[in-house]
């Protein structure tokens, strides 16, 4: 066999070597870019200095001096810095963004599915919703909602109220008597089942048992400390917002939190185990009831025990009428409601169309095959159509999420203190450091968007079809 002939050495200079040339061009481009950015930055700094405009980030530590109404973390203009104002604004933006995304997704899916409904009225309503909402400028909608939310509401003096008894700390004897009442009721129920000679008697026995439980609860609950006092306003609605009782956590609250987390964990594990059992043996367990027990009953019992033995982990502060406003309680601002509402309504119209497109992309044969297997329309949609539609839905859905967060900057029009209003508005104006403030603000929105889209990409990979 002849040996492979040696390749002749490349002719000509290295200048013509395509590989080297490619690398050289890349390096050149990077160098030019680097120089441009460097000279741009130094030019900006020099000009700012020449114009005697303060520069740098020292201002972040300076006391802000102005106040903010909606704040998720402590903020007091007298002592808090511009840096802290930044965090307040950022958290307000994230609050609207996250709540908005969740609600817009739910509403968007409902409307998207409704548009495909065989019910003529439902599908037409969904169609008109989409056509009207997505064709009106968002800014106008926000201003509309703000005035629609604000104007019809009464003044604080004439607040709409939901009254009731206030929560208090249960006492030991009260709980014993409550348990006794329910015990008697349960005994009656079981007794009726055993002793009853015919259906009518058994039914009567059960009704008596239920009455005993209801009457017991009715008389005992207000008198054992769980509910206290006379009827007073719990929720208030007026043109300053919605006031709800504010939970105040005491030292033992962490035990309640741990129990709640354990309950959720236990119910998740139980659900998995039950699903496995059902797949293996076909036996079904009362999953819903047991989940309810873990997540609701367990914490409630813990709360009762903690209240009787130690201190009540959660008490509530209620709003009361002051001279101008209600004081105390948790205030949900009309600006927040209007912004969230406007963003959700607007974005949901787009999501609905994406969902409709996704569902229509699933071939009709899938639905027919599910029908042939005996699945009802509900489970067909849930188990067959939506999972396949998700592959089409997720990428454009990501864009809508990004839009929602970016659109939240229109908050500035209705006085909601988001990042742009607080930081790129008030802080920029007070410090005059436009370059730094805007660079930081843009970096924040870029980060939020990139993180959102990274999470959605991971999710997309999970729902994407697995090629075999």
Q: Which of residues 218-277 bind another protein (CB under 8 A)?
A: 239-240
123 binding another protein? (CB under 8 A) = no
Q: Which of residues 127-146 bind another protein (CB under 8 A)?
A: none
418 binding another protein? (CB under 8 A) = no
56 binding another protein? (CB under 8 A) = no
The closest alpha carbon to 95, from 110, 78, 73, belongs to: 73
Q: Which residues of 333-366 are buried (b: 16+ CB within 10 A; e: fewer)?
A: bbbbbbbbbbbbbbbbbbbbbbbbebbeebeeee
Shortest distance (Å) from residue 335 CB to another protein: 8
Q: What is the dihedral of CA 427, 431, 434, 436, to 10 degrees?
A: -90
Shortest distance (Å) from residue 396 CB to another protein: 21
d(CA 218, CA 198): 30
368 binding another protein? (CB under 8 A) = no
| CB closer to another protein, 291 vs 426 | 426
Asked whether 221 and 227 are in contact (CB, 8 A), the reply is: yes
The closest alpha carbon to 407, from 323, 347, 363, belongs to: 347
Q: Which residues contact 17 (CB under 8 A, 6 or more apart)?
A: 10
CA separation, residue 112 to residues 104, 157, 347, 350, 397 (Å)? 11, 42, 12, 9, 13
**Sole binder of another protein in the list 430, 449, 453, 460 (CB under 8 A):** 430
190 binding another protein? (CB under 8 A) = no
Task: Please work out the total of residues on this chain that contact another protein, with binding judged by CB under 8 A.
Answer: 52
**Sole binder of another protein in the list 98, 117, 119, 147 (CB under 8 A):** 147
425 binding another protein? (CB under 8 A) = yes
289 binding another protein? (CB under 8 A) = no
Of 1-9, 120-128, 182-190, 327-335: span binding another protein (CB under 8 A): 327-335
36 binding another protein? (CB under 8 A) = yes
426 binding another protein? (CB under 8 A) = yes
What is the dihedral sign for C-alpha 9, 14, 17, 19? positive
| CB closer to another protein, 270 vs 333 | 333
159 binding another protein? (CB under 8 A) = no
Shortest distance (Å) from residue 143 CB to another protein: 9
Shortest distance (Å) from residue 52 CB to another protein: 5
Of 149-157, 226-234, 272-280, 348-356: span binding another protein (CB under 8 A): 149-157
d(CA 422, CA 391): 39
d(CA 221, CA 285): 33
Question: Would you call 196 exposed, middle or buried from its count of C-beta atoms within 10 A (0-12, 13-18, 19+)?
Answer: middle
| CB closer to another protein, 85 vs 306 | 85
| CB closer to another protein, 79 vs 173 | 79
Q: H or E stretch including 241? A: strand 241-244
Q: Which of residues 72-101 bind another protein (CB under 8 A)?
A: 77-78
| CB closer to another protein, 355 vs 444 | 444
Question: Would you call 96 exposed, middle or buried from its count of C-beta atoms within 10 A (0-12, 13-18, 19+)?
Answer: buried
414 binding another protein? (CB under 8 A) = yes
For 168, list phi and psi in degrees, rounded to 5: -135, -160
106 binding another protein? (CB under 8 A) = no
d(CA 128, CA 272): 42
Shortest distance (Å) from residue 258 CB to another protein: 36
- Binding residues for another protein (CB under 8 A): 29, 33, 36-37, 39-41, 43-44, 46-48, 50-54, 65-69, 77-78, 147, 150-151, 155, 239-240, 322-325, 327, 334-335, 412-415, 417, 421, 425-426, 428-432, 434-435
């Amino acid at each position: 066999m002849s040996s492979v002939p040696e390749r002749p050495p490349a002719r000509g200079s290295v200048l013509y070597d395509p590989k080297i040339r490619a690398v050289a061009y890349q390096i050149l481009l990077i160098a030019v870019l680097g120089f441009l950015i460097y000279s741009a930055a130094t030019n900006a700094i020099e000009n700012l200095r020449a114009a005697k405009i303060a520069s740098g980030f020292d201002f972040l530590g300076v006391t802000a001096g102005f106040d903010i109404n909606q704040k998720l973390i402590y903020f007091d203009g007298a002592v808090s810095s511009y840096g802290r104002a930044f965090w307040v604004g950022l958290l307000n933006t994230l609050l609207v963004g996250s709540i908005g995304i969740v609600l817009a997704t739910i509403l968007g899916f409902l409307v998207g599915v409704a548009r495909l409904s065989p019910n003529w009225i439902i599908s037409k309503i969904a169609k008109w919703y989409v056509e009207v909402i997505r064709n009106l400028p968002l800014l106008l909608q926000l201003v509309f909602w703000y005035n629609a939310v604000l104007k019809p509401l009464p003044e604080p003096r004439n607040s709409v109220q939901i009254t009731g008894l206030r929560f208090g700390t249960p006492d030991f004897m009260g709980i014993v008597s409550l348990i006794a009442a329910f015990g008697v009721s349960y005994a009656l129920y079981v007794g009726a089942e055993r002793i009853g000679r015919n259906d009518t008697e058994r039914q009567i026995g059960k009704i008596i048992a239920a009455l005993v439980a209801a009457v017991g609860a009715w008389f005992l609950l207000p008198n054992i400390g769980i509910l206290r006092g006379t009827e007073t306003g719990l929720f208030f609605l007026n043109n300053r917002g919605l006031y709800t009782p504010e939970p105040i956590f005491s030292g033992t609250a962490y035990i309640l939190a741990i129990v709640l987390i354990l309950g959720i964990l236990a119910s998740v594990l139980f659900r998995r185990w039950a699903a496995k059992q059902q797949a293996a043996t076909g036996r079904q367990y009362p999953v819903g009831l047991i989940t309810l027990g873990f997540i609701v009953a367990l914490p409630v019992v813990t709360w009762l025990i903690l209240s009787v033995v130690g201190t009540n982990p959660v008490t509530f502060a209620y709003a009361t009428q002051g001279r101008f406003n209600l004081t105390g309680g948790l205030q949900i601002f009309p600006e927040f409601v209007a912004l969230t509402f406007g963003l959700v309504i607007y974005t949901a119209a787009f999501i609905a169309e994406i969902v409709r497109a996704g569902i229509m992309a699933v071939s009709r044969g899938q639905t027919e095959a599910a029908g042939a297997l005996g699945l009802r329309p509900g489970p067909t949609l849930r188990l067959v159509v939506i999972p396949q539609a998700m592959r089409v839905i997720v990428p454009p859905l990501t864009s809508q999420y990004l839009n929602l967060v970016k659109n939240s900057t229109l908050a500035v029009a209705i006085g909601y203190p988001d990042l742009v209003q607080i930081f790129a508005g008030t802080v920029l104006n007070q410090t005059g450091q436009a370059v730094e403030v805007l660079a930081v603000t843009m970096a924040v929105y870029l980060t939020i968007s990139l993180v959102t889209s990274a999470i959605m990409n991971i999710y997309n990979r999970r729902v994407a079809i697995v090629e075999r």
